[in-house]
Amino acid sequence: MGDRLLRGLVALVALAGVAVAGYLTYVHVEAAALICTGGGGCEQVQDSRYAELAGVPVALLGLATYLVVLGLVAWDSELARTLTAAIALAAVGFAGYLIVLQAFVIDAWCIWCLVNDLALVPLLALLTVARLVRRETARP
């Protein structure tokens, strides 16, 4: 898989992440977040004390992270690639923590959070690490 393709895929996953994290941020700050819509435990997760970090919605942190990743993909330097991989790996760790919170502390599951934590974040980490490793090993 060429670097160009990997770069495009990273951008694609980051864009999907912007959509999911953007939606979660919207429902958190919008008053309508204070209702049950039949979407499972999303309301409970979004309304929990862990949904904010020092007053900042966790979903907003996710949105900012994906935007930073998009910026780094556009920058496309050695440092940007290393930083992107570091951010994506950190996101995997934090997503794991959020899954543990949903399972054992909040005792409710938010489907869109799971899409992010179990699909987008690991995929982003995989692609950014592959890009970092491939770039070096493919050098003449």
Which residues here bind other proteins, judged by CB under 8 A?
A: 31-32, 34-38, 40-41, 43-44, 47-55, 58, 81-83, 85-90, 92-94, 97, 107-108, 129, 132-133, 135-139
3-state SS, one letter per residue, for 76-97: CCHHHHHHHHHHHHHHHHHHHH
Q: How far is the CB of 103 from other proteins (least distance, A)?
A: 12
Q: Report the C-alpha gap between 82 and 129 in whole angstroms.
A: 8
Among residues 4 and 139, whose Cβ is nearest to other proteins? 139
What's the closest the beta carbon of residue 96 comes to other proteins, in angstroms? Answer: 9
The C-alpha atoms of residue 138 and residue 140 are separated, in whole angstroms, by 6
> Of the two residues 5 and 53, which places its CB atom closer to other proteins in the complex?
53
CA distance 51 to 31: 15
What is the nearest approach in angstroms of other proteins to the Cβ of residue 35?
A: 4
The dihedral built from the CA positions of residue 28, 71, 123 and 13, taken in this order, carries a sign that is positive
Q: Which is nearer to other proteins, 9 or 88 (CB)?
A: 88
Closest to other proteins by CB, 56 or 74: 56
For residue 87, the minimal CB distance to other proteins (Å) is: 7
- Structural contact between residues 47 and 2, judged by C-beta atoms closer than 8 angstroms: no
Token pair for 10? 């990273």
